[in-house]
Amino acid sequence: MRWCLALLICALVAAVNALSSSGSRLLVVLDDTTEKSSYSTLWSDLEGRGYDLSFESPKSDQLSLFAHGERAYDHLLILPPKSKGLGPALTPKHILDFLNKDGNIVLALSGKSSTSSAISSLLLELDVHLSNDRSAVVIDHFNYDTLSAAEKHDVLLLQRPNALRTDVKAFFDGEGVLALPRVAPQTLGSDSQLLAPILKAPTTAYAYNPKEEMPSPDDIESTGSQLNVVSAIQARNSARFTVLGSVEALEDKWFSASVKAPNGKKVPTVNREFAKQLTGWTFKETGVLKVGKIEHHLATDGEVAAEDLNPKIYRIKNETVFNIEVSEYVYDKWVPFEVPGDDKLQLEFTMLSPFHRLALQPTSRTETSAVYSTQFVTPDQHGIFSFRVNYKRPFLTNIEEKHEVTVRHFAHDEYPRSWAISGGWVWIAGLWSVIGGFLAFVVVWLYSAPTADKAKKTQ
Amino acid sequence: MHLWQATLPFCLLASAALPVAAASAWGFTDATVAVQPKGAGVNSGFKESLSSSKPLSQPVSFAGADTLRVILTTQEGSSAKRPHQAFLLLKDSQTGLDISYPFTVKENGKSRVELTQKELPIQFLSLSEPIDARVVIGSFGSSEAYDSSVFSLSIDRDPDHPVPTIEAARYGKLPEIHHIFKDAATSPPVIITLAFVALVGASLPILAGLWLLLGANVNHISSAFKSAPLPHAIFLGSLFAFEGIFFLYYTSWNLFQILPVAAAAGAVAFVSGSRALGEVQGRRLAGLR
């Protein structure tokens, strides 16, 4: 009986662990409850991963993202409303406030109807741009589903994306084909480093307003891989905002659909896995970094005593060791963080500007964390320095560590003695010859007898 | 089962025949690519006709002020028709960058697109390899869309004009920095130092020699020690002790260690010195000095 209880507690703990790293309260904003049933697989998947789902209509009076000035929910999933806007509780300002208070948001768009100007202005705040008339749909005559969109070519079939760059971790990759019906494309501003495309349209794709007959060349604003199907914003506080161009891709229908590309085979879609990856990433189940112990000390052979760890003061030209422990959250547990491919975790030793910027190498690992360390000589400049680890990468939460230490110069008794400096021997010899000369002079002055003939001369 | 096996070859045959019969494919004909230098006549400059099946073997050179013009007639099957999508797609295979320029298409399929270097993205201007120029023609329905490389475009820059670059801030690793330390203090070669030490050391014998030449001596030492042995011994001893104290201060002692010792030696030197110097005065008064 007792071990039954223990087992139950263990299971409960595991259930509690199988959660996002930043809370489980998820608010789904959708127009009417009839719509809710067409996404039932998504809801059950989310509930299975430990989220407490609340459903609200944007028109609802009770809907508020905040209670007593704090977030009332941890995550937000907004489905495109049929009405003009998202209502008074979800103005762009409220949504940005939610983001600023570390809330994560998935915003789904749909190319079926034109996007409301409220959403468009919210996205503009984040430097994500919709097409000018807000009702464009991505068309690709090469990668479409011949079964469901043989005529209109507006169901895109795409591979799951690989890593964005060689130095970025892939969170959305995998085998299989995604079906994305009626995608509302986004373009990203090029100046922001907070933006990252998750899924781009193929090079032959273009966007056009289906209400128009034939697009004139001037109507085509952007084409090919400049069009984003799914894009992500990670704010400076690591809160995440994902824009999904096609809300229909989350429907039960497309979770279990089979699709056929032109000249291709009939294959089942992997929308369900992708939805897990996408919501998992946005709601901080993946790509979350945590810093454990940070240790720095003078380089010594063997163990470092506890009192010698993290000293407040170093001397210039000290051989110093820096260790940082980093863990990554993957769905339900912390694992050792591995720096992706070409990337490097870097340590800066800075006073105003970095004097050293060195790659930290993995040296040891525990079950839940990896320890990265490096060894360097403190610069020959005294002052207030800091050990800084500023690791900001697309799709990973930010690490910003700053540990201040004083670097003093040599104390008077730490310099080499003058006799150890061969160039100083001449001066030392001069000093002692003066002393010898003085003593000889004293002896001569005390005991010298005048010479006979000289004494006569002077008299 | 048998029926299925029997019908399979027939289906394959039918599907092979199908494109000819029903599902036609998009393509183009009467295509030319021309590069017209600035200010030159319409038909001057480079001009080459394009084939929809095979790209041009030589890259098309596209210099600073030139206008690139591609003219073609789009076709569905073999009849000229206006497609929904007719793009000139420029694609760099190395960076994966792509951009499309839509053709202006008339109802009869006649299409043209004109392009200058100003319209290209800045990233294309700094590429060393020619970029791939493709024609993409597609439309709704079952007709197969066309996407094929037709020529490669080599973007030539005037070497006198710097290539504009664009630096977009992206999160990533930064270049490593290793602090450059100031040079350590160095000493001259020991041989030279030793030579100068020898020179300095030689000053003592030279001084002694000069004094001897001038008649310096210690002849009174015996009479002095006879008349006042203790004061002289202690006075000289305290002077030597002083230098010894300084030597210890130089090597190991600190100020607080030498001060009491130096005070004691000083007092001894004062008392014994007044006696010893009194004896010296006595010698002077006696006319011996």
Q: Which residues 406-425 in chain A show a CB within 8 A of chain B?
A: 421-425
Average pLDDT over residues A207-222: 80
Tokens standing for B228? Answer: 């006042």
- Asked whether the beta carbons of residue B84 and residue A215 sit closer than 8 angstroms, the reply is yes
pLDDT reading at B119 higher than 90: no
Identity of the amino acid at A235: A
The answer, yes or no, to whether ipTM is higher than 0.95 is no
CA B62 to chain A, closest CA, distance in angstroms equals 22
CATH of domain B24-155: 2.60.40.1930
- Asked if A377 is an interface residue toward chain B (Cβ–Cβ < 8 A), one would say yes
Q: pLDDT tens digits, residue range B247-257? A: 999 999 999 99
At the topology level of CATH, where does A18-282 sit? Answer: Rossmann fold (3.40.50)
- Specify burial of residue A258 (Cβ count, 10 A radius: 0-12, 13-18, 19+): middle
A459 to chain B, any CB pair closer than 8 A? The answer is: no
* Of A165, A101, A71, nearest in space to A396 by CA: A165
Q: Any idea how long chain B is?
A: 289
Phi, psi of B8 (to 5 degrees): -55, -50
Distance from CA of A224 to the nearest CA of B (A): 7
For the domain covering A288-412, report its CATH number: 2.60.40.1930
Residue A200 forms contact with B (CB below 8 Å): no
| Chain B residues closer than 8 Å to A139 by CB | 84-85
pTM value? 0.82
Contacts of B203 in chain A (CB under 8 A): 433, 437
- Chain B interface test: which of A166, A203, A349, A407 (most B C-beta within 10 Å): A203
Which tens digit of pLDDT belongs to each residue from B30-71? 888 888 887 776 667 788 888 888 888 888 888 878 888 899
Specify whether the CB–CB gap between B174 and A346 falls below 8 A: yes
Test B197 with A425 for CB contact under 8 angstroms. yes
Per the CB < 8 A criterion, the answer to whether A53 and A20 are in contact is no
Pick the residue from chain B with its C-alpha nearest to A375: B178
- In whole angstroms, what is the distance from residue A375 CA to residue B261 CA? 48
Task: Say yes or no: A6 contacts chain B, CB-CB below 8 A.
Answer: no
Of A344, A336, A325, give the one whose Cα is nearest residue A401: A325
pLDDT at A18: 54
> Average of pLDDT values for B264-289?
91
Give the residue extent of every domain in chain B.
24-155, 218-289
Q: Does the pLDDT of residue A15 top 60, yes or no?
A: no
The answer on pLDDT for B14 being more than 60 is no
pLDDT above 80 for A83: no
Q: How many CA atoms lie within 13 A of A364 on its CB side?
A: 4
Mean pLDDT of chain B: 85
Q: Which residues contact B189 (CB under 8 A, 6 or more apart)?
A: none
In which region does residue A270 sit, left (phi positive, over 0), alpha (psi from -120 to 50) or beta (all else)?
A: alpha
Measured in degrees and rounded to the nearest 5, phi and psi for residue B130 equal -65, 145
Interface of A with B in 132-171 (CB under 8 A): 139, 141-142, 150-153, 165, 167
Cβ proximity of B116 and B94 under 8 Å: no
> For residue A128, what are its two tokens?
């994500």
Partner B contacted by A1 (CB < 8 A): no
pLDDT at B64: 79
Residue B109 Cα, gap to closest chain A Cα (Å): 13
By C-alpha distance, the chain A residue nearest B100 is A223
- Ordered alpha helix ranges (H), A49-110: 92-100
